[in-house]
Structure 1
Amino acid sequence: MLKHADSYNVIAIGAGPANLSLAALAAPILDISLNVLESLEKVKWHPGLLLAGAVMQTSPLKDLVTPADPTSAYSFLAYLHDKKRLYQAIVRGLASVTRSEFEDYLRWAAAKLANIQFGEHVSAVELRGEAFNITTNCRSYQTGTIVLGVGRVPSVPEWGRNAPPNEVFHGSTLLLRRREFSGKRVVVVGGGQSGAEIFLHLLGGACGPLGTLTWVTRRASIFALEDSPFVNEWFFPQHGDWFFYQSEAARKQILERQSLASDGVNCSTLRAIYNALYDREVHRRSYPAHVKIYVDTTAEDLRGMSPFRLDLRQRKTGTCSQHVADIVVLATGYRTEIPSFLEPIAGRLKVLNAPGGSQEIVVDKEFSARFDGPGKCRLYVQNGARLQHGIADTNLSLVPWRASLILNSIIGRVAYDCGPGTGVIEWSSISYEGSC
């Protein structure tokens, strides 16, 4: 039986980094009553990919709060201090923080916040008069403002959607169950960071001595993450501001050209893979019996039942071949979709079709959705507007800045300074489609 309706100024749905940042930065703002609803029983951040030794691709100083409020009690440095590891971390250096430690930091921050409701699954968001009514498995809530932060979902090729889930699965679920692939012919599809980490994990025998291990990527090689200082200015607020005002066609081109800044592979991971392959030759290791890497190759179709026949096509020549596989791991990225619980108000939202099968709710510069409803009702979208706000939207880099912008918009005053910072590139003077 549902409990009575509770009222809050703001309801945030999802307790990932985006809404944890929102809650942490809202904590000192006395005129906001905020509640965060999370369907899981605790914070879980990519649990299926917390592979041993997997490190962050962003600085831990780009945490929940520091770029917006370096004095916050919810910073990564405050976490290290509380855990009595700060001195060790300084000596070790912050360039190699593991993803498992960052997840622990997120759990620590959530535990310090008193307004995270775990185990509350949102089933519907409706309009009732001049407010939203949110129904969960526990109760209902009324609010004038919702902040959506449910993250993205695994992107699975059409040929893999109806395959047996124990043999063909997205890499995000790799560690969610015990995997025993001894003697199996395993194929990893996808040449980004996740694909590289999964390949290295399997090559090291974490799932048993494989029969064969094959890695397939449509890229022309296994490319490194673009991580130069100039490239990293793509993750500055002023780049996002500039990007927002470009045409949709221009934004698509920009994102395509920027892909390796978010989807490339850490050089340390590349070196570890290459060293492991070299050592395999030196020591003549017999498992896996064969290791192959195919670049500039797409996986086109999957036939039969395990063992499967995976159709591969060489992109430049168009040559097709079949590859026999017992296990296929899909490191094929993620996409944005409209949550099913928004169905009752879906007709009031404007939706944009984005690359990779994504659908984005159309938002303004402050991440507020274009909503055909009562003026007092506002829906903000976090981590769901990459085609509109740029490469950093689905990255940790600008999480505190975006949360600050949303909070300022909600309360109608400047609680956090979101103005442009310094940088060496003058984005405001660049017109992507302009001519001299």
Structure 2
Amino acid sequence: MIKDGVGRDVVAIGAGPANLSLAALAVPVSEISVHILERSDSVEWHPGLLLGGALMQTSPLKDLVTPADPTSAYSFIAYLHDQGRLYQAIVRGLDHVSRAEFEDYLRWAAKKLANVRFGERVVALELRGSSFDVITTHRKYQTCTAVVGVGRVPSIPDWSRNAPPDEVFHGSALLLRRRELSSKRVMVVGGGQSGAEVFLHLLRGGCGALRALTWVTRRANIFALENSPFVNEWFFPRYGGWFFEQSESARKRILARQALASDGVNCVTLRAIYDALYDRELRRGTYPAQVEICVDTTADELQGASPFRVGLRQQTTGICSEHAADIIILATGYRTEIPSFLDPIAGRLTVASAPGGSREIVVKKDFSAHFDGPETCRLYVQNGARLQHGIADTNLSLVPWRASIILNSIIGRVAYECGEETGAVKWSSTCLDDPS
């Protein structure tokens, strides 16, 4: 049982980067102790998509701690030094960090932290008098402060919801079991980074010699990640603060224009795909025997059993067609959902609908939920307020800054300076008016 004593004991649900950051930053702060509960048996960071060669799209210096505390023993640089790879990593370049290595870093950090409890699936968070009961499959914890950091869930299109899960599945499940797809006709739906990585993996024979491989995206082309210096200022704390002050309708419009800053395809992956397609022209009789990329095209209907007949519509012309596929892999992104363990207090929370079918708990500037309960109880939400706090909320870039904001709020003083850093762009302090 965890109870608030002289310090403040916090229960953090989920051992992803968000709560690992909070726990790491809390280590030198005497007033707070963070206990993380994680349902898995170890840190798992998108395990189904840790494809060979998949690279980080953000700098590894935007790790769990460095932007908040560059001297922390939990930094990525400290990890490299501990593993004896620092000199080699410097020579290789920190812009070539694989996602597999970053996951290893997260596991290293979790191992160094004393209060990460694996195999503890939270089933309910209940209000009990002036505190919360956090109930897991094994025991009950009591605390006045809980932090939810369970991440987002796969976004599944309506047309595919009732399909057999072994034949139609989200890309995040691709590597969760061995898949031999030789002689299959495979369709990948979704034109972002995940779709590109899955397509390249299959094109290179990662799941066997396919009969046919089709890539479908509603985008007008396969677009590169917007990664210029000025675009990257969308991932600065000062921009997040400005975004929070805008009206909801303005925030939705802004996010719609920023898609390629978080879900474009990095140029290394684009080049690898293009090179692989070019090389196919030199090797006749290679597999997949047929490769097709359909841009500006939506998949909106699924008929029959495997092989499926997939209804495709070319958006510009309106021409509809059917495409046969044995396997369909959905690289259709993620959405924010309210975890079911919050059902006991759901009536005390304010929830907002967000684009893409997401539902967000409404939070304040310090990421504490608007909660109709006793003042002694506080609930914080990490990685679940993209509509409210901006494009960086579901990205690694501001994880230590957000954790610092939350930590300062919990202890009631400034343990970490969260003031604005320098930037080239001046964001107006005035709010955008609704077009109406």
Question: What does 1:30-429 align with in structure 2 at a 5 Å threshold?
Answer: 30-429=30-429
Runs of 4+ aligned structure 1 residues displaced above 6 Å come to: none
Contact 2:10 2:147 in 1 (8 A): yes
Note the alpha carbon deviations across 1:356-388, whole angstroms, 9 max, x for none: 010000000010000000011000000000000
**Whole-Å Cα distance in 2 between the matches of residues 6 and 219 of structure 1?**
49
1:7 to 3, 9, 24: 3
Contact 2:242 2:429 in 1 (8 A): no
Indicate the SS of the match to 2:144.
strand
Indicate the SS of the match to 1:188.
strand
**Whole-Å Cα distance in 1 between the matches of residues 320 and 256 of structure 2?**
26
| Per-residue deviation, 1:124 | 0.5
**Whole-Å Cα distance in 2 between the matches of residues 159 and 66 of structure 1?**
43
**Whole-Å Cα distance in 2 between the matches of residues 212 and 33 of structure 1?**
54
**Whole-Å Cα distance in 2 between the matches of residues 10 and 149 of structure 1?**
13
Note the alpha carbon deviations across 1:112-131, whole angstroms, 9 max, x for none: 00000101010111111000
| Per-residue deviation, 1:430 | 5.7
Determine the structure 2 residue equivalent to 1:20. 20
Contact 2:14 2:149 in 1 (8 A): yes
**Whole-Å Cα distance in 2 between the matches of residues 219 and 175 of structure 1?**
26
**Whole-Å Cα distance in 2 between the matches of residues 131 and 80 of structure 1?**
40
Amino acid at match of 1:103: E
Note the alpha carbon deviations across 1:103-156, whole angstroms, 9 max, x for none: 000000000000001010101111110000111111101111101000000000
Indicate the SS of the match to 2:318.
coil
Amino acid at match of 2:287: Y
| Per-residue deviation, 1:433 | 3.3
Indicate the SS of the match to 1:311.
strand
Contact 2:110 2:116 in 1 (8 A): yes
Amino acid at match of 2:190: G
| Per-residue deviation, 1:432 | 3.3
Indicate the SS of the match to 1:309.
strand
Contact 2:22 2:34 in 1 (8 A): no
**Whole-Å Cα distance in 1 between the matches of residues 429 and 389 of structure 2?**
18
Measured on the aligned residues, the alpha-carbon RMSD in Å equals 1.0
| Per-residue deviation, 1:286 | 2.9
Instruction: Among all aligned residue pairs of Structure 1 and Structure 2, give the percentage whose two residues are the same amino acid.
Output: 74
Contact 2:17 2:399 in 1 (8 A): yes
| Per-residue deviation, 1:33 | 2.3
| Per-residue deviation, 1:287 | 1.2
Normalised to the residue count of structure 1, the TM-score between the two structures is 0.98
**Whole-Å Cα distance in 1 between the matches of residues 276 and 286 of structure 2?**
13
| Per-residue deviation, 1:7 | 2.0
Per mean C-alpha deviation after superposition, the further-off stretch among 281-290 and 203-212 is 281-290
| Per-residue deviation, 1:160 | 1.3
**Whole-Å Cα distance in 2 between the matches of residues 355 and 134 of structure 1?**
30
**Whole-Å Cα distance in 2 between the matches of residues 6 and 149 of structure 1?**
19
**Whole-Å Cα distance in 1 between the matches of residues 433 and 420 of structure 2?**
23
| Per-residue deviation, 1:285 | 3.8
Normalised to the residue count of structure 2, the TM-score between the two structures is 0.98
Note the alpha carbon deviations across 1:248-280, whole angstroms, 9 max, x for none: 111011001000000000001000000000000
| Per-residue deviation, 1:428 | 3.2
Amino acid at match of 1:7: K
Contact 2:249 2:434 in 1 (8 A): no
Indicate the SS of the match to 1:346.
helix
Per mean C-alpha deviation after superposition, the further-off stretch among 313-322 and 199-208 is 313-322
**Whole-Å Cα distance in 2 between the matches of residues 361 and 73 of structure 1?**
33
Indicate the SS of the match to 2:310.
strand
Amino acid at match of 1:286: T
Amino acid at match of 2:35: N
| Per-residue deviation, 1:350 | 0.2
Contact 2:23 2:33 in 1 (8 A): no
**Whole-Å Cα distance in 2 between the matches of residues 133 and 183 of structure 1?**
52
Contact 2:68 2:400 in 1 (8 A): yes
Identify if the C-alpha distance between structure 1 residues 134 and 429 changes in structure 2 by more than 3 Å, giving closer, same or farther: closer
| Structure 1 alignment gaps of length 5 or more | none
**Whole-Å Cα distance in 1 between the matches of residues 11 and 263 of structure 2?**
32
| Per-residue deviation, 1:317 | 1.5
| Per-residue deviation, 1:431 | 4.2
**Whole-Å Cα distance in 2 between the matches of residues 282 and 7 of structure 1?**
67
